[in-house]
């Protein structure tokens, strides 16, 4: 069982209009500072947040209670003049957790009214979380041959293929910056990942390295996934056999 929390700004659309048309710079500053604070407050509780279209954030919150969410809501309300909703979704895979969260929000299922926290009644979930950290092999040399915007265009195409491939397997992929992607994994195994890597190589001529991490919390799973990725680089740089996928479990 995986638990995701989706955080949204309450009444954001109408509020943006109150700022007049000279607003874009303010919205950009607000969105980045909100993401920073959410990452900060949830990482203190061993969670990891993922940016989703800048005005919404996904967080892997396995092990967190409604009370933990209330604590974070209280801190956020001291930092921002806007308020936020948090919707907790649990599921057998990340896609299902995201859908269950969405359904709970639409059905107005309240877990804590005062703090704007929604979700179906929570079950204790001690299951493991798996994160795949994917990173382009040698993006520096690719960037050297292309202009900055052409590199971005390539990254968007890679992200699009990745999102489609992994969504079919109930896993959620996020772009984390630079040439880095993280996937909240369901049951994609190494053979499936190898298939994806072949597809990307064939369509775009790009190789990914792929670290897998499994642990009880989002933050620990990400740490192990990144450690696996760094080990792949070490193996590559020592001139040993090429290895593209490596897994570490807590
Ligand atoms: N989000 C995130 N970004 C990173 C991480 N490590 C590096 N980056 C960024 O990713 C970009 C590319 O760095 P690298 O992937 O190390 O460069 P590379 O040439 O592809 O080297 P290799 O991946 O070792 O083949 C840089 O702009 C870094 O700032 C990470 O763990 N997470
Ligand atoms: Mg790279």
Model pLDDT for residues 228-244, shown as the tens digit of each residue: 999 999 999 998 878 89
Residue of 144, 180, 224, 232 with the most ligand 1 atoms within 8 Å of its CB, for mutation = 180
Looking at the structure, do residues 87 and 138 belong to the same domain, yes or no? no
Ligand in nearest proximity to the CA of 211: 1
Return the ligand 1 atom nearest residue 226 CA: 31
What is the distance between the alpha carbons of residues 39 and 7, in angstroms, rounded to a whole number?
A: 11
Given a contact cutoff of 8 angstroms between Cβ atoms, the answer to whether 4 and 97 are in contact is yes
- pLDDT tens by residue, 171-224: 999 999 999 999 999 989 999 999 999 999 999 999 999 999 999 999 999 999
94: closest CA among 121, 125, 70?
125
Q: Is residue 203 part of a domain?
A: yes
Residue range of the domain that includes 92 = 2-119
The dihedral through the CA atoms of 84, 117, 76, 60 has a sign that is negative
For residue 243, the model assigns a pLDDT of 86
162: closest CA among 140, 193, 139, 131?
193
Q: Is residue 52 part of a domain?
A: yes
Query: Which CATH number does the domain housing residue 22 bear?
Result: 3.30.70.1230
For residue 126, the model assigns a pLDDT of 65
Looking at the structure, do residues 195 and 226 belong to the same domain, yes or no? yes
Q: Is residue 106 part of a domain?
A: yes
CA distances from 233 to 176, 178, 250 (A): 19, 17, 20
Last residue of a domain, one of 119, 143, 173: 119
Q: How close is the Cα of 29 to the center of ligand 1, in Å?
A: 25
Cβ–ligand 1 distance for 138 under 6 Å, the answer: yes
Q: What are phi and psi of 187, to 5 degrees?
A: -130, 25
Looking at the structure, do residues 11 and 115 belong to the same domain, yes or no? yes
Low-confidence stretches of the chain (pLDDT < 70) are: 125-126
CA distances from 234 to 17, 141, 244 (A): 51, 18, 12
Q: What are phi and psi of 210, to 5 degrees?
A: -140, 105
Residue nearest to atom 9 of ligand 1 (CA): 178
Last residue of a domain, one of 119, 137, 154: 119
Looking at the structure, do residues 114 and 202 belong to the same domain, yes or no? no
Q: Is residue 124 part of a domain?
A: no
Looking at the structure, do residues 39 and 83 belong to the same domain, yes or no? yes
The dihedral through the CA atoms of 93, 97, 98, 102 has a sign that is positive
Looking at the structure, do residues 146 and 233 belong to the same domain, yes or no? yes
Cβ–ligand 1 distance for 135 under 6 Å, the answer: yes
Q: What interhelical angle do 148-167 and 190-204 show, nearest 10?
A: 140
For residue 47, the model assigns a pLDDT of 98
Q: How close is the Cα of 56 to the center of ligand 2, in Å?
A: 26
Cβ–ligand 1 distance for 39 under 6 Å, the answer: no
Name the β-bridge partners of 85.
Answer: 8
> The whole model's pTM is what?
0.95
Last residue of a domain, one of 119, 140, 169: 119
Query: Which CATH number does the domain housing residue 235 bear?
Result: 3.30.70.270
Looking at the structure, do residues 158 and 184 belong to the same domain, yes or no? yes
For residue 249, the model assigns a pLDDT of 87
Quote the tokens at residue 200: 């990307």
Q: How close is the Cα of 142 to the center of ligand 2, in Å?
A: 10
Quote the tokens at residue 90: 């649990």
Return the ligand 1 atom nearest residue 209 CA: 23
Q: How close is the Cα of 139 to the center of ligand 2, in Å?
A: 5
| Count of alpha carbons within 13 angstroms of residue 183, beta-carbon side | 29
Number of structural domains (the chain) is 2
Question: Could you tell me the strand order of the sheet in which 117-119 lies?
Answer: 48-52, 56-60, 2-9, 84-91, 117-119, 110-112
Cβ–ligand 1 distance for 178 under 6 Å, the answer: yes
Q: Is residue 98 part of a domain?
A: yes
What is the distance between the alpha carbons of residues 191 and 227, in angstroms, rounded to a whole number?
A: 21
Name the β-bridge partners of 119.
Answer: 88
């Amino acid at each position: 069982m995986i638990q995701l929390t989706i955080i949204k700004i309450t009444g954001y659309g109408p509020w943006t209009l109150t700022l007049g048309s000279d607003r874009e710079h303010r919205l950009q500053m607000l969105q980045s500072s909100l993401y920073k604070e959410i990452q900060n407050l949830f990482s203190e509780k061993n969670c990891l947040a993922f940016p989703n279209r800048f005005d919404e954030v996904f967080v892997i919150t396995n092990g967190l209670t409604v009370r933990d969410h209330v604590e974070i809501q209280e801190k956020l309300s001291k930092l921002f003049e806007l308020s936020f909703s948090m919707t907790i979704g649990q599921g057998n895979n990340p896609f299902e957790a995201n859908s269950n969260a969405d359904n709970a929000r639409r059905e107005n299922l309240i877990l804590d009214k005062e703090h704007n926290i929604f979700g179906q009644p929570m079950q204790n979930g001690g299951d493991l979380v798996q994160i795949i950290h994917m990173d382009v092999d040698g993006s520096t040399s690719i960037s050297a041959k292309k202009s900055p915007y052409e590199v971005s265009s390539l990254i968007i195409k890679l992200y699009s293929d990745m999102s489609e491939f992994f969504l079919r397997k109930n896993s959620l992929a996020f772009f984390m910056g630079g040439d880095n992607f993280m996937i909240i994994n369901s049951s994609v195994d190494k053979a499936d990942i190898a298939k994806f890597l072949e597809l990307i190589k064939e369509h775009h001529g790009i190789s990914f390295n792929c670290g897998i991490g499994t642990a009880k919390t989002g933050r620990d799973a990400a740490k192990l996934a990144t450690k696996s990725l760094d080990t792949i680089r070490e193996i590559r740089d020592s001139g040993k056999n090429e290895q593209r996928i490596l897994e570490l479990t807590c």
